[in-house]
Structure 1
Amino acid sequence: MSNENVADGDVRRKGGLGQRIAYAFGNLGQAAFYNAMSTYFIVYVTSCLFSGVDKALAAKLIGVITSLVVIIRIAEIFVDPLLGNLVDNTNTKWGRFRPWQFFGGLVSSVLLAVVFSGMFGLVNVNSTLFIVVFVITFIVLDVFYSLRDISYWGMIPALSSDSHERSTYTALGSFTGSIGGNAITILVIPVVTYFSWVFTGENAEHQSGWTAFGIIVAVLGIMTAWTVAFGTRENQSALRANAEDNGGPLQAFKAVFQNDQLLWVALSYLLYAIANVTTTGVLLFLFKFVLDNQAAFSATGVIAMIAGLVMSPLYPILNRYIPRRYLYIGGMVSMIVAYVMLALFSSNIVLVFIALVLFYVPGTLIMMTVILSLTDSIEYGQLKNGKRNEAVTLSIRPMLDKIGGALSNGIVGFIALAAGMTGDATAADMTPTNIHVFKICAFYAPLILIVLSLVVFVSKVKITEKMHAQIVDELEAKLASGEIVDDEAQPVEAAEAAAAVGDETQTVKN
């Protein structure tokens, strides 16, 4: 038995069921937080935040806010790898990742409640000061949420270096993430409407309802982040013990750009993320302004939640018999069919729900394949460059999610303004032009991105379960003999070539 196998067995004995539950619980609040910010914050901005402001000024402020959100999150292309490097170079008696779960969860959650409060009504006092305070608050919120998100997913290789064990943690996180993210979709309208009625006596959306919604998500965010902080334990394997010096920011960027497999997976996922978040961001508009049945919108959250609850635990089982490459391809084909149906039959509620099933079911297959491919690229990069960058590598997916969310925020704001879907507008106010603009942005443009994502993945992503197992074996041998040097490209290429021969017919038996 190799040293690594001993280490992996030790990881499982020390972690146990309690650690798995604690880790899984973390993504319940994290996914709820992300969905609240990436989808419903702009809905709140366009529908309620400026309701007490002159309409002309409100339109300008909506444009300013959506533009600022896009700019801030695009800037994270450069910031998130630096935050990942900060996490990688954190050394405390509590470990590398857990402190950021504690502080990141606390600060980001408190500030989430603040932004959903409308900065405590400041917009009605001084709109200029509101913009300034909002920008500062949103940047700090985003940084600390990033630290929480990066440290959460970056923790997986610190819990195990075994591919199957990693898939178990990933599946657990995805399972609870499906509950948290989709519960927000189910509950947002009932919660906002209920608390608006409690505080105003009116059965409509008001600021008080959105404030209550923000506070609920914030409390959940703190509880779940602290569960990870206090309920997990990082372990040292041979691979991690020999990779304590992670270098500075320049080395972090160098590690990212030298890892070709990381970059191709990232590009494929970015195209998918932009399409996915754009569509989910405007589904409420589909039900409110096209189908004229806003009450039915909560059912989309039910569909998404059931899909996640079924597919998350099923993924590791399927992956024992089907290479994750084909799970990803199958998921993308399902989404393409869903987009075609949504574009052609957007006024038929029955066909819309069938399309949404095809849209949500493969989401877990795609997400978990990306997470595992990025996680396995850590050893790929370590063998190729002699550096092990855990949090930096796994900061890429959260960064791409936020870029997709930022672009979605901008697109949602654009649609709301261009199609007249703001303020007190109803389905009766929609013209054929309004609906046409909506369908182009919500379905046709994302469909093109999904097709491009599939093409990139099929043609460029080579890292597989078999290839990763060979890389780990190579790393073990080189670490044991002290042979790790700065340029290990040839062994990686050899592993890739060997993997290509057998990967068509079998997966690694973990």
Structure 2
Amino acid sequence: MSNENVADGDVRRKGGLGQRIAYACGNLGQAAFYNAMSTYFVTYVTSCLFVSYSKALAAQMIAVITGLIVVIRIAEIFIDPLLGNLVDNTTTKWGRFRPWQFIGGLVSSVLIVLIFSGMFGLVNVNTTLFIVLFVITFIVLDVFYSLRDISYWGMIPALSSDSHERSTYTALGTFTGSIGYNGITVIVIPIVSYFTWTFTGAKGQGQAGWTSFGFIVALLGLITAWTVAFGTKESTSALRAKAQKNGNPFEAFKALFQNDQLLWVALSYLLYAIANVITTGVMYYLFVFVLDEPAAFSITGIIPLIAGFIMAPLYPILNRWIPRRYLFTGGMVSMIIGYTMLALFSSNLPVVIVALIFFYVPAQFIQMTAILSLTDSIEYGQLKNGRRNEAVTLSVRPMLDKIGGAMSNGAVGAVALAAGMTGHATAADMTASNIATFKTFAFYVPLVLIILSLVVFWFKVKIDEKMHAQIVEELEAKLASGEIVDDEAQVVEAVEAADDEAQAVIKN
């Protein structure tokens, strides 16, 4: 790992092509990893993990495991800012963020193979021991994945303080993230089916296939994380060099809650994330149990994959002329149209495909606007509170994604059980009540959340490109004039004051 960090004070300049490519690669594996965990792990649990159990016992175990996942992820919501504080206070010759790409990528990759293997068959040997080890493994996995995710997005301010340059890095990460996230959706069934047949000779999606899937995701995650660790260089600007040290976790939490723009952006994104992940999490059941078209399920990966190729590179171009507030609004309106069509015509495949286009196409615009708004709130908080918290601030988005993932895991498990979409059930077994239950959780509830997200963003989020540029100029002017005192100066003043007090005591 190169120990060279750029310290020329000009963090606004464009990054090199190699660094941009390396950074972009990171989210390819990271997004694939996230989709595997937030969506397809629960699919694996409900369809394969307990297939050797009786139907009643399998239902109980599915409820236990999905319930534990929700509890663990909600509990870890409070850990993410602490992990962000840990990253913010990391000081190494390789920088603040890159070491966590190396460590987080390694540990999380090893552990995802473990959970997709049923703890290497322990699930069929000792149920109690399996649950205990699963909880421990899942917690450790989630912590190290979070460290990787936080350090990845937290690195953007270390690469540039210019809002448009940041949008370039964000666009690159979102572009490859779209490929990774949606690519998993395209290949999951073919991969699981192929390796199930290769190792067992059986058709369908068996344990051997899911274990192989976990291994492929792990390998991709490790390679891409290490690409970021070895292929990027953190820069030092005046804003970063003169920022106060980030202090203890309590000060980090205080800084978050004093940043009103951060909180409003977070609330808007949280409502979107919960809606989006719940719906994408149950798409498998839509095609298998409602449409009875499992072979067409790959459409849910192909559409967003193509959309990502087009929309992610298009965002920074459009953003030069169109404020991101309007890009966000247009995306939300498109999703509302998609949800309405899905709710009304969920049994019509051609209409569903059109609805999915409206649903998936604006995802990059919405997510990139949220990420950039959160990133720009770093300088807003620094100006308002006198404290710069990079990783802590940007740990908010992974934390919100984790909440969304927890809600998705819980919703998928609940829908599967309530609608009878588990084990060996088929579309022919579905009743009108089953379908109504599915549509309520999959479409109607998320539609309400999307509308609320748009309302919050439009009326409460004020930080935009123009406001951020003014904040940066004001910060630089205050730092240059000494109005904002850096850490070293504060330490010297404190030492001098202590010496003066000591001399006074001696004289008395």
TM-score normalized by structure 1?
0.93
**1:502: which partner in 2?**
none
Report 1:269-348 matches (<5 A).
269-348=269-348
Q: CA deviation at 1:275?
A: 0.2
**2:179: which partner in 1?**
179
Gaps of 5+ in 1: 487-510
Q: CA deviation at 1:8?
A: 3.2
Distance 1:5 1:460 in 2: 37
Q: Greater CA deviation, 440-449 or 122-131? A: 122-131
**2:503: which partner in 1?**
none
Contact 2:8-2:236 at 8 Å conserved across structures:
no
**1:18: which partner in 2?**
18
Distance 2:244 2:88 in 1: 9
* 1:8 corresponds to 2:11: yes
Q: Cα deviation per residue 1:145-183 (whole Å; 9 max; x = unaligned)? A: 000000000000000000011000000000100111111
Distance 2:29 2:247 in 1: 32
Q: Cα deviation per residue 1:33-90 (whole Å; 9 max; x = unaligned)? A: 0000000000000000001112211111100111111111111221000000000000
Q: Cα deviation per residue 1:416-456 (whole Å; 9 max; x = unaligned)? A: 00000000100000000000000000000000000111111
Contact 1:256-1:393 at 8 Å conserved across structures:
yes
**2:380: which partner in 1?**
380
What secondary structure, in the 3-state scheme, does the structure 2 residue paired with 1:320 have? coil
**2:417: which partner in 1?**
417
Q: Partner amino acid for 1:367? A: Q
Q: Partner amino acid for 2:361? A: V
**2:454: which partner in 1?**
454
Q: Partner amino acid for 1:319? A: N
Distance 2:429 2:283 in 1: 18
**2:29: which partner in 1?**
29
Q: Cα deviation per residue 1:448-490 (whole Å; 9 max; x = unaligned)? A: 000111111111000010000000000001111121279xxxx
What secondary structure, in the 3-state scheme, does the structure 2 residue paired with 1:90 have? coil
Contact 2:9-2:238 at 8 Å conserved across structures:
no
Distance 1:389 1:129 in 2: 41
**1:494: which partner in 2?**
none
Distance 2:9 2:120 in 1: 55
Distance 1:428 1:416 in 2: 15
Report 1:118-267 matches (<5 A).
118-243=118-243, 245-267=245-267
Gaps of 5+ in 2: 1-6, 487-508
Distance 2:485 2:105 in 1: 38
Distance 1:331 1:481 in 2: 42
Larger radius of gyration: 2
Q: Partner amino acid for 1:282? A: V
Q: Cα deviation per residue 1:264-284 (whole Å; 9 max; x = unaligned)? A: 000000000000000000001
Contact 2:11-2:236 at 8 Å conserved across structures:
no
Q: Partner amino acid for 1:7? A: D
* 1:116 corresponds to 2:116: yes
Distance 1:20 1:56 in 2: 52
Contact 1:7-1:237 at 8 Å conserved across structures:
yes
Q: Partner amino acid for 2:64? A: V
Distance 2:467 2:451 in 1: 26
Distance 1:340 1:204 in 2: 33
Contact 2:479-2:485 at 8 Å conserved across structures:
no
Q: Partner amino acid for 1:137? A: T
Q: Partner amino acid for 1:241? A: A
* 1:434 corresponds to 2:434: yes
Distance 1:339 1:165 in 2: 33
Contact 1:109-1:222 at 8 Å conserved across structures:
yes
**2:71: which partner in 1?**
71
**1:391: which partner in 2?**
391
Contact 1:383-1:484 at 8 Å conserved across structures:
no
Distance 2:445 2:485 in 1: 45
Distance 1:67 1:373 in 2: 33
Contact 2:244-2:386 at 8 Å conserved across structures:
no
Q: Cα deviation per residue 1:231-260 (whole Å; 9 max; x = unaligned)? A: 000000010001251111011000100000
Distance 2:207 2:152 in 1: 32
**1:504: which partner in 2?**
none
Distance 1:209 1:285 in 2: 19
Distance 1:392 1:112 in 2: 25
Contact 2:45-2:62 at 8 Å conserved across structures:
yes
What secondary structure, in the 3-state scheme, does the structure 1 residue paired with 2:16 have? helix
Contact 1:385-1:485 at 8 Å conserved across structures:
no
Distance 1:29 1:235 in 2: 24
Q: CA deviation at 1:318?
A: 0.6
What secondary structure, in the 3-state scheme, does the structure 2 residue paired with 1:247 have? coil
Distance 2:393 2:128 in 1: 39
What secondary structure, in the 3-state scheme, does the structure 2 residue paired with 1:234 have? coil
Q: Greater CA deviation, 239-248 or 378-387? A: 239-248
Q: Partner amino acid for 1:219? A: L
Q: Cα deviation per residue 1:180-233 (whole Å; 9 max; x = unaligned)? A: 111100000000000000011011111000000000000000000000000000
**2:500: which partner in 1?**
none
What secondary structure, in the 3-state scheme, does the structure 2 residue paired with 1:416 have? helix
Q: Cα deviation per residue 1:391-415 (whole Å; 9 max; x = unaligned)? A: 0000000110011011110000000
**1:471: which partner in 2?**
471
Distance 1:6 1:28 in 2: 30
Q: Partner amino acid for 1:263? A: L
Distance 1:484 1:64 in 2: 53
User: Quick one: structure 1 residues 275 and 205, their matched pair in 2 at CA, closer, same or farther if it must change by over 3 Å?
Assistant: same
Distance 2:17 2:75 in 1: 39
Distance 2:76 2:9 in 1: 39
What secondary structure, in the 3-state scheme, does the structure 1 residue paired with 2:405 have? helix
Contact 2:192-2:205 at 8 Å conserved across structures:
yes
Contact 1:76-1:403 at 8 Å conserved across structures:
no
Distance 1:438 1:260 in 2: 37
Which ranges of 4 or more aligned residues in structure 1 deviate by more than 4 Å? none
Q: Partner amino acid for 2:159? A: L
Q: Cα deviation per residue 1:258-311 (whole Å; 9 max; x = unaligned)? A: 000000000000000000000000001000000000010001101010111100
Contact 1:386-1:485 at 8 Å conserved across structures:
no
Q: Partner amino acid for 2:207? A: Q
Contact 2:273-2:401 at 8 Å conserved across structures:
yes
Q: Kindly report the root-mean-square deviation, in angstroms, between the aligned alpha carbons of the 2 structures.
A: 1.2
Contact 2:244-2:387 at 8 Å conserved across structures:
no
Q: Partner amino acid for 1:8? A: V
